[in-house]
Amino acid sequence: MPYDRTVKVEAPFEETVEAVREALAQQGFGVLTEIDVRATLKAKLDHEMEPYLILGACNPPLARRALEADRSVGLLLPCNVVVRTEDDHTIVQAIDPGTMVALSGLDAMAPVADEATERLDAALNSLAARG
């Protein structure tokens, strides 16, 4: 089962990061956490790699509904969104919310995952439309 939803964007990395933040906000997601993997690996291991940012995105109403269905689903929250470079493209990847349903096995999680998928897809599609 694929666990990601991915788009390739022609825009530069930094521009794409800002566009991702905007697209997520338009769909009701805030960014709670940010991990600059490139900077962390450089600082801790003196390892060089391409730009790679993990954004922890949260839509509070969806998170509340998911937690009401299963308190353990917090292990899968917030929704991670990765922005990274690959060759001459910027890649944006989001966790597939259907993973919550598959891992929890709870039918009650399906409507939450469906709405999260719809919102994340709308955000990703808006990025792809930008080029």
CA distance 95 to 78: 10
Chain-wide mean pLDDT for the chain? 95
Instruction: Write out pLDDT tens, residues 84-125.
Output: 999 999 999 999 999 988 988 999 999 999 999 999 999 999
All domains of the chain, ordered by start, with CATH? Answer: 4-130 (3.30.310.70)
**What pLDDT shows up at residue 26?**
98
Instruction: Write out pLDDT tens, residues 5-60.
Output: 999 999 999 999 999 999 999 999 999 999 999 999 999 999 999 999 999 999 99
131 pLDDT band, cuts 50/70/90, is low
Largest CA distance in the chain: 45
Number of neighbours of residue 96 by Cβ within 10 angstroms: 21
**Which tokens sit at 80?**
């991670």
**What pLDDT shows up at residue 129?**
83
pTM exceeds 0.95 for this model: no
CA distance 24 to 8: 16
**What pLDDT shows up at residue 114?**
96
